[in-house]
Amino acid sequence: MSTDLRPVPEQAPEDAYDWRRMHPVTPALRGWKVFAAFVAAIGFQAADNLRDVGEWLGPGRAWLVLVGVLVLVALVGFVYSALAWRVTRFAVTDEAVHLRQGLLFRQQRQARLDRLQAVDVVQPLLARLLGLAQLNLEVAGGTGSAVQLAFLREPDAEQLRAQILALSAGLRPGAPAGADGAGAPVDGAPAGVALADGTAPDATSADATPDGSATPAAGGAPLATRAPAAQPFAAAPEQQVYDVPMPRLVRSILRSTAPWVFVAAVVAAVVAVVVTGDVGPLFVVVPGALGVGGYVWGRLNVAATFRAATSPDGIRLRHGLTETRTQTVPPGRVQAVRLTQGPLWRRPDWWRVEMNVAGYGAEAANESVLHPVATRQEAAVALWLVLPDLGTDDPLGALDAAYDGLDDAGGFTPAPRRARWLDPLGWRRHGVLVTRTALIMRSGRWWRTVVVVPHERTQSLAVTQGPVQRRLGVATFVAHSTPGPVSPQVAHLDGAVAGALLGEQAERARQARAVAGPELWMRAAEAPHAPASMGVGDAAVADLPQPPDAPGDAR
């Protein structure tokens, strides 16, 4: 496959698009799935019928027929995949990524770059062994709106990702620094934030590239000034912010609720066997063992090698054991953030940080994780990646009040005392805090939850009130977000407070959207800078992992 990834000129007729095919090995990677699906279907649904046919044909003939059928199915699957590969093409223009596919039913899809939400490079195990990768383009739309380019050579996928991100940011090949606003500095880190290499991001520092030119670090000059002349787009530099140590990840999984619930079920089953003398209860725990095993392996497989970095084209997340995934979420695409903590995570003070990104959808839970198991300090840094300015003079104090505060601590508006009739254990944790830039909601006494929604990302608002709530004069305030794991709401607020908050938040969201930065962030006249008031520096990042040669003090 050609590695020339230059986009065709704007306004080019459709026939002039630079249509390209996927890698020639793609049919092999697709064909085996058809074969595996057929074998699984036969094994689970027609096992008894196969036994009857085998008895009718006899042992020798049965094996020959079975092998012949499997060979025929494999041949049909691979031939169909090869024909589908021949008619599948994609093209990249300055405005969109076009994909033609379909052998029997033709389909042409288009991912508009101005609607791009995230770009992921995914490598399943077999594809990784062959040096191939799949490029997923998530756009703002409903379920199934993503455009998948599978499979490409890994270097081609990386280069294509850089090209698409640069084009969606408003850069054009050959544009000089500063042309049409291109060349504006990108987001800088707040004062005192230490990265994984023990240094602080500097918007003016530069390193030397292999060709001798100056290449600014993350937060420096734009992508167009960094690309070598021979390549219109090169991958933007990045600086690692945090990673997840494997021992902590394993301990966090063991401290989750599911394994202990299973252990309790096993103990109960053993006691029942001893008391009754019937081994039946042991068979009940077998499906539970499979479920818990799948849960533990899924968490470990997805979150292993988790790393987060900042770059001019967005937040970069890398994770995965058997299937590796490299996500790039452009600035401003995160709609809401949720921090959760279970009771068994209370002592080490760990938090799971998740986000809503338009285009991922509610089913993409593994792609919506910003940090699988963060310390309190790392959780603040993860939140800074999304919202550099929390909009308060004491951001760490506000976060501490959100993490474990009660009543009106930290300036939160709490639920009234009469809410104890609806939530006798956790009513003191319900509260909401409005800052200059975001809405912070907290809830949960044992399973604690903190939700942060930037004002400009508010989709719609609602106040709901059930019959018991209406009797007590309380209501639930809901801030609707895009589909995802985060459902922003705070229950049992005073009814008058919830009603006033509804009108005030609607006006704040309107004003925030009016002054929000442009979607083409690299062409902004003045890129936003993360203020020092975010406070995720000094002691707040002292817990970030350091390389062996880095000083112990992260400041």
- Pick the residue with more confidence: 470 or 528? 470
Strand partners, 133: 152
Whether residues 489 and 403 fall in one domain: yes
Whether residues 498 and 400 fall in one domain: yes
User: Residue 4's pLDDT is what?
Assistant: 44
Indicate the SS3 state at residue 480.
strand
Number of structural domains (the chain) is: 2
Secondary structure element (H or E) that encloses residue 110, with its range? strand 107-112
**How confident is residue 438, by pLDDT bands cut at 50, 70 and 90?**
very high
User: Residue 548's pLDDT is what?
Assistant: 35
- Say how far apart CA 494 and CA 500 lie, in whole Å: 10
Whether residues 421 and 293 fall in one domain: no
Q: Say if 362 falls within a structural domain.
A: no
Q: Say if 156 falls within a structural domain.
A: no
User: Residue 225's pLDDT is what?
Assistant: 33
User: Are 555 and 193 within 8 A, CB to CB?
Assistant: no
Q: Say if 446 falls within a structural domain.
A: yes
- Pick the residue with more confidence: 230 or 110? 110
Whether residues 505 and 398 fall in one domain: yes
With 70 as the cut, is the pLDDT of residue 209 above it?
no
**How confident is residue 461, by pLDDT bands cut at 50, 70 and 90?**
very high
Whether residues 472 and 384 fall in one domain: yes
Q: Say if 6 falls within a structural domain.
A: no
Whether residues 288 and 416 fall in one domain: no
Read off the CATH number of the domain in which 499 is found.
2.30.29
For the beta carbon of residue 282, count every other beta carbon within 10 angstroms.
13
pTM of the model: 0.76
With 80 as the cut, is the pLDDT of residue 247 above it?
yes
- Tell me what the mean pLDDT of segment 513-521 comes to: 67
Q: Say if 62 falls within a structural domain.
A: no
Q: Say if 274 falls within a structural domain.
A: yes
- Tell me what the mean pLDDT of segment 397-402 comes to: 95
With 50 as the cut, is the pLDDT of residue 199 above it?
no
Q: Say if 283 falls within a structural domain.
A: yes
**Which distant-in-sequence residues (6+ apart) come within 8 Å of 79 by Cβ?**
none
- Say how far apart CA 97 and CA 91 lie, in whole Å: 6
User: Residue 149's pLDDT is what?
Assistant: 92
pLDDT cut 70: percent of the chain above it: 72
Lowest mean pLDDT among 104-118, 302-316, 526-540: 526-540
Indicate the SS3 state at residue 106.
coil
**How confident is residue 184, by pLDDT bands cut at 50, 70 and 90?**
very low
| 124-178 residue pLDDT tens | 988 999 999 999 998 876 566 678 898 999 999 999 998 898 888 777 665 544 4
- Pick the residue with more confidence: 247 or 140? 247
Whether residues 296 and 417 fall in one domain: no
**Length of the chain counted residue by residue:** 555
Whether residues 401 and 504 fall in one domain: yes
- Tell me what the mean pLDDT of segment 396-419 comes to: 95
Whether residues 392 and 499 fall in one domain: yes
With 60 as the cut, is the pLDDT of residue 538 above it?
no
With 50 as the cut, is the pLDDT of residue 426 above it?
yes
Q: 289 lies in which domain range?
A: 245-302
User: Residue 462's pLDDT is what?
Assistant: 96
Q: Say if 144 falls within a structural domain.
A: no
